[in-house]
Amino acid sequence: MWRVVCEGPPYTLRGVEWRRVGPYRTSLFALAFTCIGLETRFKELAGLGGGRPALAFVIGQGVNILWTLLLAYLLFGGILFPAPKL
């Protein structure tokens, strides 16, 4: 399930070889944010202040998604930099 990419020389900090820990750390960090999102009570959020906090959340997430897609297109689509050869 997990793919560990080990490139470059290993470096250690307090006895831990970080090139092998990095992918797990990133995945678990993303999982933590997923759990926070699953724990959010949107029904309560929609009931507060006439639903304004929920609307602000949805609009903010929409802007975040559009911004991320635009940056991904510019960075990885060959617009700002040459497209990588895989």
d(CA 31, CA 35): 6
Q: Does 49 lie in the same domain as 78?
A: yes
Q: Which domain holds residue 73?
A: 44-86
Q: Are 81 and 71 in contact (CB under 8 A)?
A: no
Task: Give the pLDDT of residue 16.
Answer: 58
- If asked whether residues 27 and 10 sit together in one domain, one would say yes
Give the model's confidence band at 42: pLDDT under 50 very low, under 70 low, under 90 confident, else very high: confident
pLDDT band of 10, cuts 50, 70, 90? low
The pTM assigned to this predicted structure is 0.49
Same-domain pairing of 50 and 85 = yes
Question: Do 62 and 31 fall into the same domain?
Answer: no
> Average pLDDT of the chain?
76
Percentage of the chain modeled with pLDDT above 70: 70
Q: Do 29 and 53 share a domain, yes or no?
A: no
